[in-house]
A and B are shown apart, each in its own frame.
Chain A
């Protein structure tokens, strides 16, 4: 019985460019993933028609997120990365105060477009209780350019 021998030269793919591209992609994603704002909670921000809002300056700021629930109600707050309950307005004030003492100048207020104004107002009042004069930034969705 005659056996056919295997071809001696195996086909090799040149892996070098593929590895180059793959490493480039990894470096890209590693760098870009650091850009994500970890303090911001994902929500449907207001988007006024013909908005004249400006891009907020890159200052030392504290972000106050009003976490939306159903039908304009709220589920709590996320302030400077700390999750708080609906009734924890005193703690919200304390966190903002500490961040202001640490050099923060602006307070970014982020709320869902459907949130009832009564919740927004009580949050602004809690920020007013800090005692200093923070500049409030009412955050809205940016224009798609």
Chain B
């Protein structure tokens, strides 16, 4: 029986250039990739214009005036328009809104959860302060919240 001798020279693939390209691609994607940061949102219904520019609300809204006192996240001044007790901070606003909400679990309360809450920042108010006030009202479980034109 005659055995054929295997050829001694194996066919070799030159991997160097492929590895170069692959590493280039890897570096490109590592540099170019930007992960999306986690974002959340507050839903707000935008009322349609009905004749004029002013918002028409069925009930007299509770107007929350918001002002920035500085650039820090806690440098915020809030007060209520009308004959309400003075509010000094967001914590007090939260307490006021919670204690005056009509609830099935407790007697009393002045505002139903659907009562219109009008947040009225000034022209210079920082957006984060307006959003902080919005957050407090949402946290107090009110559902009809609007951002008004700046005072």
Residues of chain A having any CB pair with chain B under 8 Å: 15, 18-19, 22-23, 25-26, 29-30, 32-33, 35-37, 40, 45-56, 72, 107-108, 111-118, 120-121, 124, 127-129, 131, 133-145
- Interface residues contributed by chain B, number (CB under 8 Å): 48
B99-126 interface code vs A (CB 8 A; 1 in, 0 out): 0000000000000000000000111111
Interface SS of chain B = mixed
By beta carbon, the residue of chain B nearest A32 is B33
Asked if B139 is at the interface of the complex by the 8 Å CB criterion, the answer is: yes
A140 touches B39 (CB 8 A): yes
B46 touches A33 (CB 8 A): no
A121 touches B150 (CB 8 A): yes
* B11: A residues at CB distance < 8 A: none
B45 touches A133 (CB 8 A): yes
B6-46 interface code vs A (CB 8 A; 1 in, 0 out): 00000000010011001101100110111111111111111
Minimum CB–CB distance for A114 against chain B, Å: 6
B38 touches A136 (CB 8 A): no
* A51: B residues at CB distance < 8 A: 40, 135
5 nearest A-B residue pairs (beta carbon): A142-B38, A29-B29, A113-B128, A53-B40, A137-B41
By beta carbon, the residue of chain A nearest B121 is A117
Q: With A52-B138, A135-B43 given, is the CB distance from A124 to B126 under 8 Å?
A: no
B135 touches A133 (CB 8 A): no
